[in-house]
Amino acid sequence: MRDMIHLYLSRQAASLPRYIWEQALQFVAGWIPSLIGIGVRGLLYRTMLQMDGMAAIEDRVRLRWASHIRLGRGAYIDHGVYIHATPGGVSIGPGAFVMHNAILHVYNFRDLPHAGITIGARSLIGEGCVLRGQGGITIGNDVYLAPLVQLLAVDHDYSDLDRPISAQPIITRGITIDDDVWIGGGAIVLDGVRIGRHSVVAAGAVVTRDVPPFTVVAGVPARVIKHLQPAHATNGRLTTLQAASA
């Protein structure tokens, strides 16, 4: 029983005092609705997580290993979001939005070297999205994830036919999403994928390999269906786009 309790606590916070403090704060302030609750949590929660300026945290948000969570100025965490940051951490950039019932889950207890989730400035994680960051997930600036997108930066070895798959090693390579990407609703991005700048992933696609910049991909598995050609750029920034068939 003692070992089970120790295991449980180690999955919740960095130490027993941290667990008590984090749970107490969420018990006292986690349920308060409206702007009053956002204001109270904005003041109290900065004692258990890292906040660069003021961030908005709605009620019924569950935070585990809060000491490894960083929120940028103006970040918004919607109702029912679950963030489990151990131990690689979760960083949510300034002005980023994490919407209702999204799950950001690192949960690395196998000492995987690149575990963690980083979300850039002004990016949006849509309702019900699932981010599994055991292999590391890096999301750039101005990225839009529509509802129910899954980013799964973890895989299992299954080569040993005499052992249960759950008992075999975890394989991780990580997922990188560059700036200015739109991923449509219900799409799945698998481990080891990089999605290039200003690309679009169609709703329901399953992305199993890298997506080149300035392309649209769709299907299962996803393939390029369109190229987006820059017409001209000013100061290194795209000003207009011309879509051409693949």
Which tokens sit at 79?
């109702």
Q: How far apart are CA 32 and CA 34, in angstroms?
A: 7
Among the options 84, 100, 114, 156, which is catalytic? 156
The tokens of 43 are what? 């003041």
Do 135 and 172 form a contact (C-beta atoms < 8 A)? yes
For 215-235, the DSSP string reads: EEEETTTTEEEEEEEEEEEET
- C-alpha angle with apex 93: 95 to 235, nearest 5 degrees? 80
Phi-psi region of 186 (alpha: psi -120 to 50; beta: other; left: phi over 0): left
Cis peptide, bond prior to residue 221, ω within 30 of zero: yes
Per the CB < 8 A criterion, the answer to whether 89 and 116 are in contact is yes
Cα(160)–Cα(183) distance, rounded to whole angstroms? 35
| Cβ contact 149:167 at 8 Å | no
Active site residue 156: yes
End-to-end Cα distance, the chain: 60
Catalytic residues: 156
